[in-house]
Every structure is written in structure tokens, then in C-alpha cells.
Structure 1
Amino acid sequence: MKSYQTLVDEALKHVPEIMPWDLRERIEQSEPPMLLDIREPEEYTAMHIPGSVHVPRGILEAAADWGFDETEPRLAGARDREIVVICRSGRRSALAARTLQELGYARVQSLKLGVRGWNDDDGPLEDADGNAVDPEEADAYLRVKVRPDQMGPADEA
């Protein structure tokens, strides 16, 4: 049986990653990439990279194609555009980027370290109202909060 991390590792064999500081440089160029945030709605509402397009992972396939209730025209029309997929840590984005590749998107990358890495590199974040998010508040929000019961059973000797 494969684990979540195994799926991510397999996706990353095909999906290039971009570091937050490199993305900041790319955004400032004349033809910046599309920033595609695939996190859940409450995550995106709390904070996101300014200018990013929000398409939750759960509807990505339909949003990336024409003719569906979930179609996001900016994404469906961007098959030849450079796209950087964003999540909290870079795992979900790797899987989503691989899915986009399978749908024919050739210029797709995953933001390594995700929004957490972006914030650590002092990249700007904004909330749903366009207000700047304090980096320390963002750090607290983005911190891993795995509970003991989520760690799984202890290995027996």
C-alpha cells in the first residue's frame, strides 16, 4: 500500500519545483506565471499570495477543463501558460501539478515549501479583503498542528 508521501514523491519525479525566492523573481518579470492556489477555501480566505487564482484541489480537474459548473476560465484557458501550483507545504501542490500535467498542461511547477516557505522568505500574504497578513500571525496559522491521535499506532517491538 502506498502512503501519502509515496504519492508525493512519485509526482515529484515528473513535476519541477520552484523555490519561493525564485518565484518572487519570476513574478516581477514581464510575463509572470499564473499562481494557482489549490488549498481549501478557509485556508485561502485566511491568507494567500496576492494575485493568485483559487481553485480548491477537490474541483481541480473540472475547473481545468471547459464545460463544467466548476470551470475556471482563467485556468482552463491557460494550458500553454506557465503555472505555479501552491498549497501550504508543497505536497498537495505536487499532486495537483501532476494532475494538471496529465490533463495536458505542459508548463506546471509546484511551489516548494508552499505558503509556509513563501512566508518564511518574507513573501507578502493578504487575506480575503486584500489586507496584508502579519508574517508572525501567518507563521502561527501555517504551523503544523498534528495531534497525537493523528500520528498512528506506535510500532510494537
Structure 2
Amino acid sequence: KQLNRGDFEDLPEYEVEKVVDERWENLPARKGRKARRIKRYLTRFVGYGPEWDEWLTEQDLRNAPLVLQEWKDSGRTKKESRAVKEPGAENARREPKTETPPVIDQHKEDLSNKESAPKGFEDKEGGSGRQLRSRRERKLA
């Protein structure tokens, strides 16, 4: 859509402060076109907080080439933008966890209380002996 000069001058202008993050987004296939992926950048504007950040494409950021180039030159990817790396951690491998989560035997049943409640919803005192726990409770146990 073409805007006449009067309408264009009335539009508010926002200045890009910095790029905060990036992500790839899958676009569905349209008539006669294949599905494709585009990269979007989480953009912060001067004078606005994080709640006003917007995901913009490289095309949307064509009027802020220095900010976009600064982001690309920093070499940060999505994972690196959220996590702070320790020095020398690039080549270090993660050690596998030695502790295995507890195994809950779901096949045991108390036949005497079989009809009292649906499986998994028994009360703690008189039920089948199986207690439901959250992931956090299982980790702490």
C-alpha cells in the first residue's frame, strides 16, 4: 500500500535500541509456494522496556542496519543470548548424570481396594499404596 506524504509524516517513528534475541520461524506453504523458514530478531526500542519488545524480520530492520550488524558481529545465537558461558566452557563436554530417577512400579495393585477409587487417585491412608508426586517431589526424594 502506498501512503501519501501527509499520512506518512503523521506516523510515529520508533528508534531501535538493540537486538536482544533471534529465532527461526516456520511459515506455512501458500498457494504455489513451499513452506519456508525466516529469521526474526527480538528488538528493543529506545525509551521502551522489555514488555514492548517485538519480533521483526531483517526486512523490517532495514532502516537500522548498524544495530542488526552489531548483533551479527557479536556472534551470539539464541542459546548464547540467554546463557552466560564460563571461560573455557566451549570445549568442555557435559558429564552424564550418574543419578537415575526413581522407578515407580505402576503394575502393583492392592486388590482389596481396587474399587475404591480410580487408579492413581487413591487416598494416602487406605488406597492402593501408590502416591502421586510431582516431578519436584520425586527429585527431592
Q: Do these two structures clear the TM 0.5 threshold for a shared fold by scoring above it?
A: no
Q: Normalising to structure 2: TM-score of the pair?
A: 0.22
Higher RCO structure (Cα 8 Å, ≥6 apart): 1
Higher helix share: 1
The structure with the greater share of residues assigned to strand is: 2
Q: Over alpha carbons, which structure has the higher Rg?
A: 2
The TM-score with structure 1 as length reference comes to: 0.20
